[in-house]
Amino acid sequence: MGLFDGKKGVVFGIANERSIAWAITQQLFAQGAEIGFTHLPDKDPERPKNANKVKKLVEPLGAKFVVPCDVQKDEDLDAVFAKITEQFGKIDFVLHSIAFAPPADLTQEVYKCSRAGFSLSMDISVYSLIAMCGRAKAIMNPGGSILTLTYLGGEKVIPGYNLMGLCKSALESSVEYIASEMGADGVRVNALSAGPVRTISASGVGDFKKMLTLYETFSPLRRNITEEEVGKSGMFLLSDMSGGITGETLHVDCGYHVMG
């Protein structure tokens, strides 16, 4: 008996085997979930690198579908939700594990970021959650759960996190507002605030290596989190085990957030 037997949902944000979404996906599959996936569209359809990377991971585990989706495009989101509805009818969970900021804007002081870079970052990293929730509302079963990924840099100033810190503040605020709105349907919305994990996105954050050392030295558990720990906590927040939790940002960071 798995926690997700009979449960269906969609995962946005696997780029490769290091992605946090992949760590959570493995736990969901282990608990019996039926899952559809999206990947960042490939620029050259003749060389579908993104599609192949995601398919290679999820198809052996029984993915129900793998489709492209650029979250900046309403038509892509509409097509994905049409696919979800056709495949599953109603769903029980949505995992949003997506963020992006142009390197030129992300690696500068916040006051130097461009208008275009700010809009793009907010669009991909924040509005995408709002857009998904709006589309998911009609097809979520009562008891359903929506989860996004955030970082402590949205609550406190973390050197090097810069523009993405602003995005994560807005994302966490979106989680609270949407949780209050969708709670009437019995749907929960939460954020998992992960400690640093080596992924492609993380490589764009300046001082990332310093972050790992900082957590190892100063977090209460004196180490960095493992991908498996993030995977299990993510699965927990998407499962009925977290039934009373909504509008929450849960820190999965070896306790680092309590340190002054």
Query: Under the criterion CB under 6 A, does residue 36 sit at the interface with ligand 0WD?
Result: no
Q: Which is nearer to ligand 0WD, 11 or 182 (CB)?
A: 11
Q: Measured between alpha carbons, how far is 53 from 152 in angstroms, rounded to an integer?
A: 29
Query: Under the criterion CB under 6 A, does residue 98 sit at the interface with ligand 0WD?
Result: yes
- The interface region with ligand 0WD, picked from 3-11, 67-75, 78-86, 172-180 by CB under 6 A, is 67-75
Query: Under the criterion CB under 6 A, does residue 20 sit at the interface with ligand 0WD?
Result: yes
Q: Which is nearer to ligand 0WD, 149 or 187 (CB)?
A: 149
Task: Tell me the three-class secondary structure of 181-200, residue by residue.
Answer: HHHHHCCEEEEEEECCCCCH
Return the residue of 11, 63, 67, 99 that touches ligand 0WD, per CB under 6 A: 99
State the virtual CA torsion across 109, 118, 12, 197 in degrees, nearest 10. 0
For residue 151, indicate whether it is catalytic.
yes
Return the residue of 31, 51, 55, 70 that touches ligand 0WD, per CB under 6 A: 70
- The interface region with ligand 0WD, picked from 97-105, 136-144, 177-185, 240-248 by CB under 6 A, is 97-105
Would you state the structure tokens that stand for residue 243, as one six-digit string?
């039934």
Convert 203-241 to b/e letters by CB count within 10 Å (16 or more is b).
ebbeebeebbebbeeebeeeebbebebbbbbbbbbbbee
Q: Measured between alpha carbons, how far is 119 from 72 in angstroms, rounded to an integer?
A: 11
Residues marked as catalytic: 151, 161
Binding site for ligand 0WD (CB under 6 A): 13, 15, 18-21, 40, 69-72, 97-100, 124, 149-151, 194, 196-197, 199-202
